Chains A and B, each alone.
Chain A
């Protein structure tokens, strides 16, 4: 190769190199321009979108659950309160292996495999960042141990929450009800979804006042805006809008009386309602057996729930307002009032009772086999003669009996914040036609006249009826004490004073005349004389055959077949202040079973504590004393009972 050629080649190559260096430089410049253009798009054009995304990343809204309104008794003693609850929650997205974390946690606290599986399932159902409650109501020791071991438990967060606690346990279960963790069903049925309901296991009212007054008790959730880092850890609070605590509620019920009543009814399937006649305030409302509402707060176990549900004495049922019973002889005042108002009978008119009442070929029996002989209205109430009221109810007729019953408060429900309120039943001809398809018979009227047959009343209604009879005013019951309102006196009933006083006198004689059905269970204190009416309502049909052989005694029947024992009363007789009804399911006779209970409760209210023995007849003092001392000890009340009788 010639030198010239090589030089020529060389310079050609140098030119090529230079050219390519410059071309590559230009390519680089255009690449940079492309990058710059894209940066411009991200940082200027789409910047606002990305700013929002960055904020969404960094800002988390956390709900601060409001503290639930407290419930107090008449005197301001707490019944339902909020207690600190040490619990741990788990956020799944903070770990790759939730099963592992739970297994490690189970070394610290009791957490069996079944629960672990259920938790893992729950987690799968919800978004991975939603905290799931793993364990609640931990002891401080467990709580502290978990807190110490947090580094090995990613996703586990110890928290202090508030949880409902019912300080009087069983005593108020049927009135106050309980709260429980919100269920999927609750969430679906909620009309307006309060964001606070989204908090897992948020406690809402399920039964009773807790449910009916949920709106007032719940309050409003606060919102905390927090900045979180990529792993969800809260770095700082940006701002906070305060929530509002729920409203506190004062009941009309008084705790000591409520406890005494509960204790007095213990062991029975019974209920009692005591109403203040002036204001209509319910001072005590008890249904037994009861249950511990605290068991429901964190969710009740299936076995406990089944046990409550299958108990034949129905502890979950509020018998005082949801239980409807044939009112038995306590209904006789209504028939009497209707007859007197209509002028169908005079105060001195007498009716003869031979022990039965014949209607065509059918015989209607009086509870007293031999009959009562000739009776005035007052005596008929006192002795609870059936034949007298067969006669009377036939004269009045079912329509007018029904009208009087409604006037006195039966067959209707009251505006009380309770769940499952029963209206009872006041039958009419139309009702029977619609319900049974058969027409009303005179025999039906006779049965209704003595509180049997189709009519049904709740213990609350019986107490209201008694209060209305005792006051002559249209008493309506309340459970909630509105603060700062002076009670207005209810309207008078359109019943003549004479009518009312005759019935009251009859009721007085029930306890205070020798032949009264509850004479044994009178009060002997001049200032606290009780007037009342017994009732025994049959739950089975007595056949003619049985009647001839002799009616089987309650004690010999299976529990479910025994009569209901009822008693309704007011006191003091001269200036009535309180009305009370007691119903013992399948308790036997009203005069033997319900009356002594009612006397104890009424006297407790009249004396404002365990009643002194001076209010009891001499022969009963020993028995009463041991009973009252026993109750006083159980409910922790001082009994000022004279030991030397």
Chain B
């Protein structure tokens, strides 16, 4: 099949929804910069359209190629994470970025793809009978824990947890025996319980400020001008948007700088304030449709690698937007997770677009058997 014929077979509805979401993002970036293409809208558009073309290129490349290079993606990802440890740039108290001259890459973001590819490869190669064998359960767990630990030490607890979540999710989809998850879940809850019980005792397991942060999360009003400030202002922006919003570029909370990080992690609040309930639900529906189309694509493929890959990447995308939205509404603590395709930022954009490139490749080559 030639390149152009392959293009006919890509999942066009998915591709169009991705474009639509990105357009939504440009609109919001234009608004939060006070009606200007600079400094965010223009670079974001450039980045998007280049990577949008990249999706087409990636989708034309056979999925077996991507499958073959999967282990290397893990090695590369790990190498980058270690590189960050030594050469990384420090920002906001954490070492997360690697300056690659062209872009500033956040390897922990990129690793979200690596972990999915690697685990999909692992389970694709693993004989069916060994899927639930304890040793072969331990191997992927280590594959997950090692990078997650490095990310945790950056420190970036949020991304580390997301990597673990995605990894475990792929293991779950791959068919590992349910008992493991039941056991894991129960021990996790027990750990949480012990953590909270340890508070104020001699054997306290977390530092005081960790507990304090949890307190603030549970009740932002206890610290209205400290870390609770952001979430309070964010909720005010959301709530005051009402049903129809205050109108495009009319959001007082965002236009008057009451919102933190309004062009990145908190851009959803601007959208909510200016377009109201219809805007937020609209975006939520688009995201859900994307997830739906991904699941549809996964089920349409005929090989295990593709199926696990798409489901895993779809989970990555889902964690992005669901955690972000839950965060700005105060349902989850503030962890630096952007709104996919809408928030300004290079790393998350590349991760999301590469994901869709891989998903499209898997979809185009859905009948390949290897």
Contacts and interface: CB of A to CB of B under 8 A. Distances in A.
Interface of A: 1, 6, 9-10, 13-14, 16-18, 20-22, 24-25, 28-29, 31-32, 35-36, 38-40, 42-44, 46-47, 49-51, 53-55, 57-58, 227-231, 235
B112 to A, nearest CB: 17
Contacts of A46: 239
B66 interface: no
Contact of B258 (A32, A36, A49, A230): A230
Contact of A35 (B258, B284, B298, B308): B284
Main secondary structure of the interface of B (DSSP, over half): helix
Interface residues of B, number: 47
B257 A230 contact: yes
A580 to B, nearest CB: 67
B276 A43 contact: yes
B128 A10 contact: yes
Contacts of B169: 24
B237 interface: yes
B256 A39 contact: no
A123 B331 CA distance: 37
Contacts of A16: 175
Contacts of B311: 21, 24
A43 B241 contact: yes
Contact of A39 (B131, B281, B295, B299): B281
A54 B277 contact: no
Given A35-B329, A38-B329, A50-B238, 5 more contacts: A21-B298, A25-B292, A51-B240, A53-B240, A229-B256
B137 to A, nearest CB: 15
Among B172, B240, B272, B329, the one with the most A-chain Cβ atoms within 10 Å of its Cβ is B240
A9 B308 CA distance: 18
Interface string B273-301: 00011001100100110011001001100
Contacts of B2: none
A29 B318 CA distance: 10
Contact of B277 (A32, A39, A57, A235): A39
Contact of A47 (B128, B175, B241): B241
A57 B236 contact: yes
A224 B145 CA distance: 59
Nearest to A25: B295
B252 interface: yes
Contact of B239 (A14, A36, A47): A47
A42 B239 contact: yes
Interface in B162-217: 169, 172-175
A13 B299 contact: no
Nearest to A9: B128
A43 B272 contact: yes
A16 to B, nearest CB: 4
A55 B253 CA distance: 9
B258 A6 contact: no
Contact of A17 (B175, B256, B272, B284): B175
Given A13-B131, A43-B243, A58-B256, A24 B173 contact: yes
B325 interface: yes
A57 B252 contact: yes
B11 interface: no
Interface of B: 128-129, 131, 169, 172-175, 233, 235-243, 252-253, 256-258, 272, 276-277, 280-281, 284, 287-288, 291-292, 295, 298-299, 304, 307-308, 311, 315, 318, 322, 325-326, 329, 331
A493 to B, nearest CB: 73
A5 to B, nearest CB: 9
A25 B291 contact: yes
A127 to B, nearest CB: 12
B295 A227 contact: no
A35 B325 contact: yes
A40 B277 contact: yes
Contacts of B240: 47, 50-51, 53-54
B291 A28 contact: yes
Contact of A54 (B236, B291, B299): B236
B297 to A, nearest CB: 11
A53 B236 contact: yes
Contacts of A28: 288, 291, 318, 322
Nearest to B298: A21
Among A32, A39, A47, A227, the one with the most B-chain Cβ atoms within 10 Å of its Cβ is A39
Contacts of B304: 14, 17
Nearest to B278: A43
A20 B172 contact: yes
Contacts of A54: 236-237, 239-240, 252-253
13 contacts: A6-B128, A31-B322, A32-B322, A36-B284, A38-B329, A39-B238, A39-B284, A42-B235, A50-B238, A51-B240, A55-B252, A230-B233, A230-B258
A61 B284 CA distance: 38
Contacts of B325: 35, 39
Given A32-B288, A36-B281, A235-B256, A50 B128 contact: no
A51 B239 contact: yes
A50 B291 contact: no
B128 A17 contact: no
Contacts of A44: 242-243, 277
Nearest to A53: B236
B128 A35 contact: no
Nearest to B239: A50
A229 B255 CA distance: 8
Among B129, B236, B315, the one with the most A-chain Cβ atoms within 10 Å of its Cβ is B236
Contacts of A57: 233, 236, 252-253, 256, 258
Nearest to B304: A17
Contacts of B298: 21
A230 B251 CA distance: 13
A29 B240 CA distance: 26
A619 to B, nearest CB: 84
Contacts of A32: 284, 287-288, 291, 322
A24 B239 contact: no
A123 to B, nearest CB: 16
Contacts of A17: 173-175, 304, 307-308
Nearest to A1: B129
Among B128, B173, B295, B315, the one with the most A-chain Cβ atoms within 10 Å of its Cβ is B128
A44 B258 CA distance: 21
Contacts of A35: 284, 322, 325-326, 329, 331
Nearest to A45: B239
A327 B235 CA distance: 78
A155 to B, nearest CB: 16
A38 B327 CA distance: 12
A473 to B, nearest CB: 69
B129 A9 contact: yes
Contacts of B243: 43-44, 47
Nearest to A17: B175
Contacts of A25: 291-292, 295
A252 B236 CA distance: 60
A546 B232 CA distance: 89
Contacts of B280: 39, 43
Contact of A43 (B239, B256, B257, B322): B239
Nearest to A14: B304
Contacts of A39: 238, 272, 277, 280-281, 284, 325, 329
Contacts of B299: 18, 21
A31 B169 CA distance: 15
A53 B273 CA distance: 13
B50 to A, nearest CB: 29
Contacts of B235: 42, 50
Nearest to B257: A230
Nearest to B237: A54
B316 to A, nearest CB: 12
A58 B253 CA distance: 8
Among A6, A36, A43, the one with the most B-chain Cβ atoms within 10 Å of its Cβ is A43
